[in-house]
Copies of this chain bind each other. A is one copy, B any other.
Amino acid sequence: MRRFAIIGHRAVTDPGFSLNDMPGSAGRMDILCRCVNSCFFLSHDLRRDVECYLILKGGPETTILFKGETIRSLNPDERSAGALIKKALGKTCGSEFIESSPGVFIRHGGLERLISEYPFAVLDESGDDIRAVGSLPENLLLSDHQNLAEEEEALIADLPRLSVGPQVLHADHAITIYLNEFDRRSA
């Protein structure tokens, strides 16, 4: 299994956001939607061996999980992922994942719990080049358009850091390049 976790620092946790204004009033939810796309879509197929965790921090910290193994009703456009996020946020949940639609789950809590469950590496422009590392970590943590906050940096201080190349990229582009490296190593 390959896992990507993306922190949405301002991404709202209220399901009332508009699919017509995800960059604005939904707190850059568009970034998270594009990350969902990058995690799963192949040409006419889905990556079934990927899980995508969205950590929403623009409200009580909440995690939404997309599982490639069982996801349904996901199309590549931003609105499609956005609609599944809205539906998940409309579900009453506690500290354990509950399913809001096939392959989509939601729970309260965020980064601290997730990195206690799986060993993550962190995308970092000054990290080791993914083409040069011996073994490519299965789980990668990324941030949205904002840098990690001080308390987040403290949580991940001991995690390995990886870079996807010489330019600093959007999270969804970095996921695409990371998966391409996986594809090449397992081909």
Residues of A at the B interface (CB closer than 8 Å) are 19-20, 22-23, 30-31, 34, 37-38, 41-45, 75-80, 145, 164-170, 173, 176-177, 180, 183-184, 187
Interchain nearest-CB distance for A59 vs B (Å) = 21
Contacts A/B (CB < 8 Å), 22 sampled: A19-B20, A20-B20, A22-B77, A23-B76, A30-B77, A30-B78, A34-B34, A38-B173, A41-B173, A43-B145, A76-B170, A77-B78, A78-B79, A165-B183, A166-B183, A166-B184, A166-B187, A167-B180, A169-B176, A173-B176, A173-B180, A176-B177
A180 near B177 with CB under 8 A, answer: yes
Closest 10 CB pairs of A and B: A166-B187, A43-B168, A30-B77, A173-B176, A176-B176, A167-B183, A165-B180, A23-B77, A78-B78, A166-B183
Residues on B with beta carbons closer than 8 Å to the beta carbon of A30: 76-78
